[in-house]
Every structure is written in structure tokens, then in C-alpha cells.
Amino acid sequence: MFQRQELAKALKHIAIGYLFIHVHLTIVTVDILPNWVGWILFLGAFGALAQITPEVEKLKTLGMILGFWAVVCWIINIFNPYGTVFLIVGVVFSVLNLYFQFKFLTHISDVAGYFGCGTEREKLLTIRNVLTVLGAILAIPIWHQVPVLAFLLALVCIIVIIWLIFVLFSVKRVIEDTTL
């Protein structure tokens, strides 16, 4: 028997984790919403998600690697904010991140489907696809050279992440209110 409250709390942590991963507030050279906090929140949710979709555990090691990479990048950016982290390594981690996010949102949509949230499940799958395409576009190092394009991509990312957070909280509410 799974714990509904634990699962609802995990979805809340995932929603907050997406804020940390996609919103960057920098003071001087320090990102005060570091990505690695989002990875910690994601990793903390694995146990609860695995109650419904055990396959999510297969992503845990990759999540730890990506979280460690986020810490490394955060530290490097503090001391060298205008430098670049090894370009090839960065591209590899971008691809790994795309894979992780695609599979992670697939598993979360499975949880939504388990609780009868068909509409939310479809929204999560659409968000997953949009974020995958946006992530692939943002991995191309030339997008930031066109300020208008960079602004539009950032705006679309913000809208999609807000949409994702609303959908996650909608599923969370259903889980809290459902008795199975």
C-alpha cells in the first residue's frame, strides 16, 4: 500500500525542483536558485514515485550524476561567471539531461494516469515534448547570439514551466483527495 500524502508531497517537491532548474536569479556571481537544489528535490521524490511507477528508479543514478554536474557548474560559475564549462562535456550533459527530463515526466504522467487524471496526464506528456524540443534548441550554442530569439525562448520556457507547475499541483490535489 502506498502513501498518498508522501506522493502528494513528492509532486510538490518536483514542482519546486523545476523552479530551481529553470529559474536563475543571480546576485553578483551566485545563482541563488541553484539547479542542484532542484536535483536534490527530484531525487528525494523517487521513493514516492516508485510506489506507482517502479521504473523511475532506473533514472536515480543519472539524476545523481546530473545533480553532481549542476554543483560543479554552480561552483565554476561563482568563480568564473563569464567563462564556459568545457563545451563538449556540457553538450553531453545537456543530452543526458534531455533524456532524464523526458523519462521523468513520462513517469510522472503515469502517476497522473494511475489516479484517473487523464487530462493532466495528456498535458504532462505535451509539456514533456515541448520541454524536450526547447531543451534541444537551447543546447545549440548560437541561440543566445540573437537577443530577440533568446528573449522569446526564455518567455516560452517560463510559460511552459508555469504550466507544468500548475499541472503538477493539480495532480497533487487529486492524489490528496482520492481514496483508493
pLDDT in tens, 101-145: 999 999 999 999 999 999 999 999 999 999 999 988 887 777 667
Indicate the pTM of the whole model. Answer: 0.87
Q: Residue 83 — pLDDT band, cuts 50, 70, 90?
A: low
Residues paired with residue 31 on neighbouring β-strands, in sequence order: 26
Q: What grid cell was written down for 171? A: 495532480
Extract the C-alpha cell encoding 68.
Answer: 553532481
Residue carrying C-alpha cell 537551447: 138
Compute how many other C-beta atoms are within 10 angstroms of the C-beta atom of residue 32. Answer: 10
All cell numbers assigned to 74: 554552480
The answer to whether 41 and 17 are in contact (CB under 8 A) is yes
Element (H, E) at 102: helix 87-114
Predicted local confidence at residue 139, as pLDDT? 77
